[in-house]
Structures are given as structure tokens and as C-alpha cells.
Copies of this chain bind each other. A is one copy, B any other.
């Protein structure tokens, strides 16, 4: 079968031929429909993140997948079920097993898990894949074409769950919110805030550093939200220029943003951090930041990955998001033969996917 894989010492993915996998007991065989591409895939390709499966010269890419069950293999699934697979799997040494056993692989410490398509395990960019049935979340058939968005949406479902939990000890309903980052995840998250989290469009903001005309700014404004250009309005100036934020969602991985988020927050606000920066030393007014965190009851909550419950919530969210938004964010879906096009990065590209088959 066709697969898209990165090989050791190569700087780009290749289309290769692999045998169709056989499901083990408890696993189902899934025919892949589409696999989305995100920043993590680009980091894996550039060598900045991820590891090859032990003993293998290649890593099959892809962790944002949707497919259809073709061999339920005596699991609770049925042939024909449309499914999205979660990403983490137990490491062979079993160190993370307790987290998997209670359905919280997303809380497993680094080193105790593999991540399909990223860390130590082949991903979903292949005509078929197998997965334990318990790691496959069923979607309504009508979501089949866009089901590869369930994984990125699940990242924000988890981030919101943890951020809201951190504010659950008191009466808190966020009315203003800002997303840092106008990539696909940022735009989808802005859409979630407006469409499913009760943030009025005129209290929703998304920060980027692009010039108009730009398709991401178009999406922001079509949602009724405000585009904040970080080149003219740094994060710390947002409260004066616009308003202080009850909720900030940091998706850029630009480390200064995590610290500046404290200043952008309204009293009792929370910053949800999902972007992943590299080590980088800089000066902060640590005293002022620390003081503000305390005296204004603010919180910073980092979260990574997601579990089945977040995939389920994301499925509901995907169904609730307007079609125009999904159409605008997914700028290209290419057949496997044209896969290099899906890895292009330019200002016209927001999110792409590779199509392996149709429902």
C-alpha cells in the first residue's frame, strides 16, 4: 500500500510501498480517508521534534487522521464506522500504562509513550492503518471528509477543559478571549470560542503578524472577531488598545507570548498554553509578573495532547462549526500522488490534507 514516510538522513517525505498491516486482537483495520498536516509534521520533517521507530529507517508521518473501519476484528466497532484515531500509545516498556489504563494518555510523562507519526511509532499517512479499537473515536458519517480536524480540535478541547477547570473554584464566565497565532489551530480555536464557547465576536481577538490581504485575516474578520497585528500592538499593549482578556490561548510557541499573556489577562483570567517553544533566554520583569499573577488571581495552564474524551468533544464541536469556516481553513486536499503539494508552506496555505481514499 501507499504510505508517506520520512527516512533517516533525508530532508523531506517520500511515498513508499508498505505491506497492508494486520490487526492484532483488540485492534481494528482502518482504511484511511484523509490525513491532515500541521506544524508538528513540519517540525518532524525538519528534525526539530520526534523520533523514528526503534530499529526502523523510516517513520510513517501523520497524526491527524480519519478513516473507515474495514475489519472490526471482533472489537466493539462495526465495519463502515467512520473513526478518528488518538495519537498516543503506550511505550513498549510499559512505564506509562497507568495513564493509558485510566484513559489519560495525554497526562503521561515524556518518555512513557509513543506518538503515532511523531514519537517512535508509525503514523497514519498510509492507505490502511491498525489501531486498538479503544483509541478510535467514532464520528457521524457526515463528518468523514473533515474528520481529520477532530485531532487538532481535540487539542483545544483539552486546553479549554484544563483552563476552565483552573477557574472552577469561583464564578467565572469568560467574556473576552484572544488567540495568539493565526495558523489553522488558532483559527479553528477562534471559531470554537465564538461558535461554541459563548464569546461574542466583538470580544474575540486573534493575533498574528501578516499584512492584508491575507486569508487568515479574512477568516478572523468573517467570524466577526478582531485581528491584532503583533507588530503594531504587542501582546502587553492589548489591554490598552482593545481590552484585557479573560482567556488567552497561546498557540504560537513564541516564548515571550507566554509571559506577556499574564499582562494581557483581565483579573481572574487564565492563559492556556499549547504552543511549544525552544529554549531561549530573555529578560522579564519577573517581579511584576509574579505580583500580577498573585494579586489578580491569574493562572497559566500548559497542556499537551488529548484523550478520547477530548476527541469526543471535538467531534461535537466539528459538527457545530460553520461549513464556510472549515472550507476557508482547509485550503487544499490533495490525492496521495500529489502529496508534496500538501507540505507546501506559503501565505495562501492555511491547512492541508492528503486524501488516501473516499468514503
Q: Is there a chain B Cβ closer than 8 Å to A344's Cβ?
A: no
A277 lies within 8 A of chain B by Cβ: yes
CA A244 to CA B299, docked complex, whole Å: 21
Interfacial chain B residues near A169, Cβ < 8 Å? 161-162, 165
Specify the main secondary structure of chain A where it touches its partner: mixed
Q: Which residues of B contact A287 (CB under 8 A)?
A: 255, 277-281
Cβ of A274 within 8 Å of any chain B Cβ, yes or no, is: yes
Chain copies in the assembled complex = 2
Complex-state Cα separation, A323 to B210, whole angstroms: 64
- Of A184-192, A288-296, A326-334, the one with at least 4 CB within 8 A of chain B: A288-296
Residues of B within 8 A of A351 (CB): none
Report whether B255 and A109 are in contact in the complex, using a CB–CB cutoff of 8 Å: no
Q: Are A255 and B297 in contact (CB under 8 A)?
A: no
Given known A168-B165, A171-B102, A273-B294, contact A283–B285 (CB-CB < 8 A): no
Give the residue of B276, B284, B298 whose beta carbon is less than 8 angstroms from that of A286. B284
- Partner of A304 from B288, B294, B304 at Cβ < 8 Å: B294
A237 contacts chain B at the CB level, 8 A cutoff? no
B301 & A171 in contact (Cβ 8 Å cutoff):
no
Contact with B along A242-276 (1 / 0, CB 8 A): 00000000000101101100000001100001111
Most chain B CB within 10 A, of A170, A255, A277, is at A170
B285–A280 touching, CB < 8 Å: yes
Report the nearest B residue to A261, measured CB to CB: B290
Most-contacted residue by chain B among A166, A275, A294, A298 (CB, 10 A): A294
State in angstroms the CA–CA spacing of A283 and B294 once bound together.
20
Chain B CB within 8 A of A325 CB: no
Whether A290 contacts B268 by the Cβ 8 Å rule is no
Q: Which of B104, B170, B302 contacts A299 (CB 8 A)?
A: B302
